[in-house]
Structures are given as structure tokens and as C-alpha cells.
Structure 1
Amino acid sequence: MKLFITNKQKLLLAGLFILGVSCMVAVAGYIYQIYYSPIMSSAPDGNSVILIPRGSTFDSVTARIRKKGLLPYPRLYDYLAEKLKVHSRIQAGEFKIQHNWNTSELLQYLISGKSIRHRITIPEGENYLQIAERLQLAEIADKDVILSLKDDPELLAKTGIPDMTTLEGFLFPETYFFSRVDTERQILSAMITQYRRVFNADFQKRAKEIGMSEYKVLTLASIVEKETGIDSDRPKIASVFHNRLKRRMRLDSDPTVIYGLSDFNGNLTRKHLRKPTPYNTYTKYGLPPSPISNPGRASLQSVLYPADKKFLYFVGRGDGSSKFSKTLREHNKA
């Protein structure tokens, strides 16, 4: 038996076919549109910064993204997150999200680990307080938290030197890259670790050869660091202090006096030089009880390898360099 399809039926079938194809095209177009649409079409040229603390859950991260207005298609977001296994791959950090990214690009970025790292340079010779202030100014750490960790037993143990009471001297001056999700403890630990890399086995061996403990080398280097910024003068200044220590002469170092003052206003007076503090090397013999700054490699090397000179005195010149003398008479004429 033959089926006869009338022209009207043919037209109807053709119409249904065209309608079906049109619907499929429309749905495909819609899916394509939402898949590739920017996550913030109202400001596609901008960006938003999201901070993801360590230990954050996927839901808490999603809440942060939603709060920033970067979640136009929640169902697509959930689908892609499941497909990419984002729940178990979320990374902590500070992320700069471009508004013209699509949802897939957003999720790929969050699991990439390519978070923002902030560059900060710790100059040679800054003390613990100054470094704490620098970190806070850079919005990398809280100054008060840094200060509270100055005598932290766990961090002190990382120095590798027993019976330490302060981290002063162990925050190695260097250029670091920190994230704003790094804790103050992690930041300090990174600086201590860098110090340990620099004061390596060769430095430790040399310290023994010259009859000094590592901590004494560090303390003397912190004084040398504050006395000059001229590299060529460091070994000579170190030799002055070595010679004075051997002769049981006081070091007479202004920076040590300043470190021991709580009310120093930038003007060192004779009254300050007579003030009895543990750090006043005009009134006390030997080294101060701890470093007075955080010295760099050059100052550490100068103490380990001082110039072979008989200098006992030095005085600063106007250009930042120093004039060295073997006798007090020469020194007074300088």
C-alpha cells in the first residue's frame, strides 16, 4: 500500500524541519553566546582583584566571585567547575581577573596558580622595626604582627643558632616576591631561609678559622653595615673593629648607641654617648648583645675576611667614605 503525501503535508513537514533546525541553531547560538560571553559585559576593559586565603573552600571562592559581580551564568559556572575539577584544584592567592574573560577562562585562571606576587626590596642595614614598617607600607604584612613575632620560638629555631632571643639580624636584605595571602610568619621564614642560604657551610667554616661564633660575626657585620655604604671601606672598617676587640678597646660605634636609644631624634649628643644602655659601645667593652641591623652579604664577608691592616680608628668623610688611622694622634688630625 502506497502512502500519498499531499503538497500541503509536504509543506507542513518542511516547515517543521525548518523550525526544528532553527530551534537547534538558536539553542546552539545561545549556548555559544553564554559560553564565550565576558563575565562582566558592562565593563569589559576593566579587571577585579580577588583575594583567596589559604584553606578557602570552593563555595567561599564562588561567593567572593559573585560579590564582585563576575558570575553572570551560575549554571554554566557550576558545570564547568565540575568538568575541570575546580573544587579540588583551587589555589590560594591574589588574582587579577579580566572582565572580558569568559567563564571557562576565569576558572582556568583560578586553578593555574598564577597569582599576583608583590615585589619588595629589603635594603641592607634596616633593623627589625624598619622592616616591619616597610612591609606594612607595601600592604604585605601587618606591622604589629611582625613585631609580635620578633621573639617567636618557632622562628628563632629556624635561625639554626641555639638560645636566640631575637630575630634581629636574620632578616636577610634581598628582593622578595610575596603574595598578600602569605602570613607574617611565612614572610619572616622566607627571609630567615635566605639568610641561611647566604651564611652557608663555607661562611661557618671561615668563622671558626677566625675564632668567632656565627652570631658574633652577624653582630659585628650589622655594625659594619651601619657604619658605611661604601663597599671598598667595609673590609677596612671590619679590620678596625677586629683590631680593637683584640686589644680590648671599646668599639666606640655611634650606630650601636643609636640602636639602644628609644628617644633618638636624629641628633646624636654627648649625653647619648654617656647614656648606659646594653648597646652603648662607648661605655661597654666587646660586642653589643645582639645585631643592630640586618646586614647584607658584603658586610658579612668583610667581617670574615677583614683587610689586613693595623687601623684602630676611622672617621667619615663628606662623600660617604672614611679616613683610617693607626694612632689616636693621626685620628685627631683627620
Structure 2
Amino acid sequence: MQPKFRRRRQLAAALALALVVLLIGTCAYVWYQRDVVAVRDYEGEGNGNVVMVRVSPGDSVDSLSEQLVEKDVVGSRRALMSAAERKEPELQAGYYPLQEQMSADKALEWLSSDERRRGVVDIPNGLTLHDVQVVDGDNRKGIFTLVSEQTCQDEQNCVSVEDLQKAAAQTPPEQLEIADWALDKVNARGDDPKRIEGLISPGVHLFDPTSSPEEILKTLLKTSKEQYENTGLLSSAEKVGLSPYDMLVAASLVEREAPEGDFDKVARVILNRLHENQKLEFDSTVNYDLSEVEVATTDEDRRRSTPWNTYAKEGLPETPISSPGLQALHAIENPAEGDWLYFVTVDKDGRTVFNRDFDAHERAIEESRRNGVLDSNR
């Protein structure tokens, strides 16, 4: 049996050794964190694992550093800030598909690339939900396509146009945060994805491209509702004598029919014809449901009975035929003074003639035909 003092000496020696090992380990860890991790910078464009990085309005490289290090996009904050001093990147709000373990230089290059930005869609005035094929022209991308393109984290990982259409058609309108003043009309269209036509406003929208199709549409519709209502839509509707939804429908007609500078006059024509119970007879409402469109329409097209064709139906179309911009909304909210019932663009420079007399309108149509404005290639 060992003497007690000997066992104590052995215990003390073991403790001392353990402390030495701990001290060495601590020093090694501190050195590694300070001299390796704290300044570590990866090489190249990453390891192939995609990471979506959000840049909010007002963000800087410094404010993004924690997110980038935590997601292992860059090796260290110090490497990132050193790269920022060299490159002085300009950041724009959006979502950016980066990769794990990128060099700090490459990460900032991708964060500064407008081509790599996702979750930001710029919707022009007068755009429709679906793509439009122009006769003898190019395909015009619709809102569903533009949104789908902005969800792609890589070439395969996208929210498809079909998924967005399905969400528009099948998600209960209340879950999409459709405005109260549009609910009845949207529900009346059943499972037609066109039921949300016109409810996504023109302009720049920011959304999370990694979320579900339903959440994406909800974001776009919610911000659009706020933008439309901020124009004074609700109070103006009462003054004009239309429901807020029908104001939006009428504004979409102004957007598609009126040349620049005549928005308020076309708005007045719409209201005058509705007041006198005359069909609107707008070619834009005929084109809306066609597979190919052009300015002119054929007799056969105008005879087709659709929810939008104002040659075949009384009153306004059942839904907007495009997303009206603020200028079109302002025109229907503040129409020009006049008794006109007809208008037609008579030359290719956009000159438009307004009349109350039908015979005068017929003469203007003939002038338009002579100038090739109403020729059809179908």
C-alpha cells in the first residue's frame, strides 16, 4: 500500500499536467481563432452549396458580415471588410444566391451583381398576369413569368409559373390578403388564375424568393392593396359612382386604351358611356382573351362572348385587363370634363380624336384605316 503523501504527490502532478494541457489547448484555440479563423479567407466561388442571402434596404457590408460568416459564405469578418475596402461595393436590396466557402472578393462581387439579384420584380404599367404573344412580334412576359424568374436560386430551383397560377386559382382569397373591396369579384371567378388580374400593382416589389407560391403572391397582393388605397381609391370611388374594384377595372382600360396625354379624356369617355348604358366596345377587351394580340381586331374576334369582351357584353369587363399604373388610376379618379362618347387614334404618332357624334367618329375611323392604324395581320 502506497503512503498517503505519495498518492497526494501523484494527484498534484496529474492536476498540474492537466492544467498545462488545458493552458496549451486554450492558447492554441485563442491563436487559431485570432490568427486563423479571424482572418481566414476561402478561395474561389464556393463549394456548390447554395445559400440565399438577404440584403435589406440600408444594409452595408458591415451589417451583413454576421450573416455571411454565420452561413459560412465567407471565412471571416476581417477578410470581408478587407475586401470591402478594396472593392467598395454598391449594395441593392434583394436576395442573392451565393455559395458556402466563397472568397470574400467573390462574395462581394456576387452581392453587387444586379443579374444575380432575386426577389425583386419590376412590373411595368399595363402588364398582364400571363405572357402575351404579339402578332408578328415578340412574346411579352407576364407577371407570373417575371416573378418566377426572380425565385431561381440556381437553374433548376425555381418557383414555376404553373405553381404561381395554381396558387392564384386555388388559394382562398382571404389567405392571399385580397382587399375586402375585391373579395366578392375574385370569388366570383372561381378557380380562374385571372381572378387576381390587376390586383398586383405596377412598380418594384421585394419578396422572399425561398417562400411558397402562396406566400409570394400574398406579399405582392398585400403591398399592392396598400399602394392602390394610398391613391385615394376608396374615397374617389364614392365620388365617381363606381365601386373601388370597378375603378380598378376602368383604370386598366385607360391604361390599355389611352395614348400618353389623353388618359383623363379616355376616362371620361368610359364614364360617359357607362352612364348612358352604351357598350364600351374596346378592342383591348377583345385582345385580352386572345392567344395573339395586335391593335386591330377582327369581326370574328369582336363577336366572341367572353367575360371581358365589351363588344359582346354590357358594362365593364368582369376583371381588370391589366395592372393599371398611378397615372391611369388618377385619370379615372379625376376624369376630364367633356361629353365625348367615342375616340380613336388616327395616326401612328398617337394623335387621338374624341367625338360625341357617331358620324364624326366614323369619319375618324376611316382616317385611322387610311393611315394603317387599324390594319389587321390576322
TM-score relative to the length of structure 1:
0.68
2:165 corresponds in structure 1 to 147
1:322 corresponds in structure 2 to 352
Aligned-residue offset at 1:155: 4.3
In structure 2, C-alpha distance between the alignment counterparts of 1:190 and 1:315, rounded to whole Å: 38
2:238 corresponds in structure 1 to 208
Give the direction of change, closer, same or farther, for the CA distance of 1:51–1:198 in structure 2 (3 Å limit).
Answer: same
- Secondary structure in 2 matching 1:268: coil
Does 2:134 match 1:134?
no
Equivalent runs, 1:233-248 vs 2, <5 Å: 233-248=262-277
2:205 corresponds in structure 1 to 176
Aligned-residue offset at 1:243: 0.8
In structure 1, C-alpha distance between the alignment counterparts of 2:148 and 2:310, rounded to whole Å: 32
2:285 corresponds in structure 1 to 256
Aligned-residue offset at 1:315: 0.9
Cα deviation, 1:164-206, whole Å, max 9, x if unaligned, reads 2321111011112334324322332232223322332732112
In structure 2, C-alpha distance between the alignment counterparts of 1:255 and 1:193, rounded to whole Å: 27
Structure 2 unmatched runs, 5+? 1-23, 55-66, 77-94, 131-141, 153-158, 188-194, 365-378
1:123 corresponds in structure 2 to 124
CA contact (8 A) 2:265 2:335 kept: yes
Give the direction of change, closer, same or farther, for the CA distance of 1:250–1:30 in structure 2 (3 Å limit).
Answer: closer
Aligned-residue offset at 1:225: 0.9
Cα deviation, 1:275-298, whole Å, max 9, x if unaligned, reads 222222112111111111111111
Equivalent runs, 1:251-330 vs 2, <5 Å: 251-261=280-290, 263-264=291-292, 266=294, 268-316=297-345, 317-330=347-360
Letter in 2 for 1:219: V
Give the direction of change, closer, same or farther, for the CA distance of 1:132–1:229 in structure 2 (3 Å limit).
Answer: farther
- Secondary structure in 2 matching 1:51: strand
- Secondary structure in 1 matching 2:206: strand
Look at both structures and tell me which one has the larger radius of gyration over its CA atoms.
1
Letter in 2 for 1:241: I
CA contact (8 A) 1:116 1:179 kept: no
In structure 2, C-alpha distance between the alignment counterparts of 1:301 and 1:147, rounded to whole Å: 30
1:17 corresponds in structure 2 to none
Letter in 2 for 1:146: L
Identity %: 26
In structure 2, C-alpha distance between the alignment counterparts of 1:321 and 1:134, rounded to whole Å: 32
- Secondary structure in 2 matching 1:124: coil
Equivalent runs, 1:69-108 vs 2, <5 Å: 94=96, 96=98, 99-101=102-104
More moved, 195-204 vs 29-38: 29-38
Aligned-residue offset at 1:264: 3.1
1:51 corresponds in structure 2 to 51
In structure 2, C-alpha distance between the alignment counterparts of 1:137 and 1:198, rounded to whole Å: 24
Match of 2:247 among 192, 217, 222: 217
In structure 2, C-alpha distance between the alignment counterparts of 1:244 and 1:332, rounded to whole Å: 17
Give the direction of change, closer, same or farther, for the CA distance of 1:34–1:333 in structure 2 (3 Å limit).
Answer: same
CA contact (8 A) 1:125 1:225 kept: yes
1:158 corresponds in structure 2 to 178
In structure 2, C-alpha distance between the alignment counterparts of 1:282 and 1:149, rounded to whole Å: 31
CA contact (8 A) 1:128 1:168 kept: yes
TM-score relative to the length of structure 2:
0.61
Give the direction of change, closer, same or farther, for the CA distance of 1:101–1:123 in structure 2 (3 Å limit).
Answer: closer
- Secondary structure in 2 matching 1:186: helix
Aligned-residue offset at 1:311: 1.1
- Secondary structure in 2 matching 1:308: coil
Aligned-residue offset at 1:330: 1.7
| Number of corresponding residues | 269
In structure 1, C-alpha distance between the alignment counterparts of 2:252 and 2:304, rounded to whole Å: 21
CA contact (8 A) 1:39 1:101 kept: yes
2:191 corresponds in structure 1 to none
Cα deviation, 1:309-332, whole Å, max 9, x if unaligned, reads 111111123123422122112212
Structure 1 unmatched runs, 5+? 1-22, 55-60, 73-92, 110-114
- Secondary structure in 1 matching 2:180: coil
